[in-house]
Amino acid sequence: MDVRVSFLQLPVELICDILQLLSVKNLLQCNLVCKRLRRIIYQSSALLYSIELSRCRMRSAMSSDLSFATRLQNLRDRENAWRTLNLNSRHKLKLAHSGTVYEFAGGVYGTGKEIDRRTAYITFYDLPSVTSGAQRSITHTFSDINVVDFTMDPAQDLLVLVSINLDSQYIYDLHLHTLSTNEPHPLAPAPILPCYRKEPGLNLTDGAIRIQISGDTIGFLVKEAFLFLQAHFEVFKWRAVFPNSCIVKSIAGIDDFTFLSQDHFLLVQPDGLFNVYSFSDPISNPLNPILRASYELPNLSPAYNFWYISLSSNPAPCVPGPTEENKAYYCSPSDRLHACCIYVYQPALPNRDTVYPFVFFFHPKTLLDPPNERKHSSGKARMNIFSPWQGSNTVDVHDDNAPSHSTLDNDSPIFSDLPSFSTSPSVPSSPHVSPPSSASSVSLDGPSSDLLNFPTPQTIHTSPSSMLFDISPSHSSRTTLSKAQCQFPVPWDAWGPQNTRWFREHLSKDWQRSIYGLRTADCVVDRAALESLIHHNGYRSAGANPDVDANDSDSDSEVDGGDESDEDGFIFINEVAFSVGDIESQLGCTGTLPKFLRVRDFNPYSISKVMEEITSEENTSMQNPPSTLVPCAPTVDREFVEREINRFSPDMVRDQGGHRRVVTEPTNINVRGVFTQNIVSWLPYVEAISQDTFNVNEVMMDDSRLLLIKRGRGRKLVKTINILTL
């Protein structure tokens, strides 16, 4: 007797177990099959949790002991708190000391203490312990090494210390220690990685440095060249035996770097060229790293130069998972927003008023998917500078003798499974060109194509978008790029406007943008507070030394001969002094101005959710109109106030808080002649402004916290950090 049982006749528990093995995309397609499957999915917390994780660009922490129902509710509550900036709790972190070198990663905040211009010790604070009512910390002392910088990865219990070694043939040493004990890391075959070989007659370099951890990879950059030394970037596999690195050198300098994926990194040249490299195992292969593509920034006008370009993103790719207790999920390392801060100046007029800062945001997959055909670039001359040192595993940025990319085999890594860019004509400069329509329904009732909910208009016509990628873990494929593809940069109009969002920026002492996942956070000045300060306290010329804030009694006042780098209120690059970029310093005022917190979210799912919520709120507000704002006192010199406020970017001052907006239309940034054309960009985002104001100078963030940093005497960091949890 042939007895056949259909899938839908199986017990519900067994059906759920089977559905749990499917990808989220297939799971949503099952939702469209019939009412029974739809009902099963709706009633399963585990299946709904998988769907919600994908939409929020999160990954599950397999070690969590929480039930799926609890995880799902926590995730929804957290995402709703970010959309509305509804704070859950507020706590204060008391620092034993503050310094110029600090780091925040994996729920740990570390800050160094400088004595005689060297980091003598670093204290690490466990932030979850602060929010639980306690405050755990550990201090590591460094008496035998000259520490100049550090970074950490609590998920791997990894602490990387950068030191200068005067007694070695290399300038820098990277010490691989455990974060918990400050002992050599047991997974590192060599506890010290030497970097940047010394040259005869030169024992030290003045080049600024930067270091970043990405799983088992460490990137280390010496940014500016010193005399005839080249800028130096080296990628290490810190768990591999020697040789375990590959190198890129450039005598023209390298401004910054970031990891785009587990095996791709981005270098930015001082002339505004983005270079994407890949590397494969073993990393010491002579072909590593391989230049995959180059991208141009908008053309500068004559008499203007790029002064400084910085990159930032968080978290790094290939994060093993959360380290905090009871954490059920974490941000997907492949779904990250990148920020590029650009500072342009006129060499003939080196002062603060001639520095023009901008910031734009983009997704890494934008640069991992170069167009198949290249248009002619802007024609900007590129220096063909050769490296005087060429090792078997060293690549010079402009070396024609480097291995030809046309000879690469099919094992060369590139993300060819991603959609291609459109090769249609360049983007019109007018912001009135209508981009593709915005988000559709995000509920389970909608078509399965709404899963990713990426309405982003990143293509000039209707070809696939580089943001329209599968949320399931990507699989690298192998392909071959021609040498011509790497020699001719992709012009800005072919990749930039449709894949970025630009803003006017302010000159900042801290180069890094606060980013986590697809969100970015900053602060904007309350207009009422600024008007009151200008009118009642008076205005002193910019550049004057700021007075001491009487409220900053907890500022670092230790007398130890160190911590002098912040006292003058200036930053130095290329031996040119520029004023610190916060409004308080520019106005020369006392105290810290109240500021609203601002969070921008570039996740299309968040955009569509907020659009639905705003529509509902608007329908309600039509029945209950909001009250008007109280006007300023008639004694205020409005003309004077407006003139001073207008000195800053309009994005830096807000009239009120407690509101949200969705931006899907193109914006046209007035570049004031810095670039040859105004910059059009239209990467969609949703913006939330806090209801309350805070006395803060800088904001840091992770997936569940906002850290409010304040500066006191001499613009030093105050020894109290406000922690806002969502």
How far from chain centre, in Å, is Cα 240?
28
Is 534 inside a domain boundary?
Answer: no
Is 79 inside a domain boundary?
Answer: yes
Query: Could you say which DSSP state residue 536 is in?
Result: I
Most confident of 106-120, 214-228, 491-505, 710-724: 491-505
Is 438 inside a domain boundary?
Answer: no
Q: Which of 123-132, 584-593, 612-621 has the lowest mean pLDDT?
A: 584-593
pLDDT for residue 345: 87
Q: Looking at the 3D structure of the chain, how many domains does it have?
A: 1
Q: How many CB atoms lie within 10 A of CB 477?
A: 12
| Beta-strand pair 245-250/394-396 | parallel
**Domain of 74?**
7-84
Are the C-beta atoms of residues 656 and 630 closer than 8 Å to each other? no
Give the H or E element holding residue 608.
helix 604-621
Q: Of all residues in the chain, what percent carry a pLDDT higher than 90?
A: 41
Tokens of 448: 């399965």
pLDDT single digits (tens) 563-587: 333 334 444 444 444 444 556 666 6
Is 34 inside a domain boundary?
Answer: yes
pTM: predicted TM-score of the whole model, two decimal places: 0.80
Give the H or E element holding residue 131.
helix 127-131
Instruction: Measure the CA dihedral 445/449/453/457, to 10°.
Output: -140
Give bridge partners of residue 233 from the DSSP assignment: 221, 248
* CA dist 138 → 111, 130, 182, 434 (Å): 11, 14, 10, 55
Is 64 inside a domain boundary?
Answer: yes
Query: Does residue 469 or residue 445 have the better pLDDT?
Result: 445
Instruction: Give the residue from 164, 247, 137, 167 showing the smallest Cα distance to 175.
Output: 164
pLDDT for residue 713: 65
pLDDT for residue 118: 81
Is 24 inside a domain boundary?
Answer: yes
Are the C-beta atoms of residues 210 and 198 closer than 8 Å to each other? no
Distance CA 194, CA 171 (A): 8
pLDDT single digits (tens) 686-723: 999 999 999 888 899 999 999 998 877 666 778 899 99
pLDDT single digits (tens) 513-531: 789 999 999 988 887 777 7
pLDDT for residue 283: 95
629: exposed, middle or buried (Cβ count in 10 Å: 0-12, 13-18, 19+) = exposed
Distance CA 390, CA 232 (A): 12
- Per-residue pLDDT band at 292 (split at 50, 70, 90): very high
pLDDT for residue 340: 94
Is 67 inside a domain boundary?
Answer: yes
* CA dist 249 → 116, 390, 399, 535 (Å): 32, 9, 10, 53
- Per-residue pLDDT band at 240 (split at 50, 70, 90): very high
The average pLDDT across 68-83 equals 93
Distance CA 276, CA 405 (A): 13
* CA dist 430 → 553, 572, 680 (Å): 51, 37, 7
Is 458 inside a domain boundary?
Answer: no
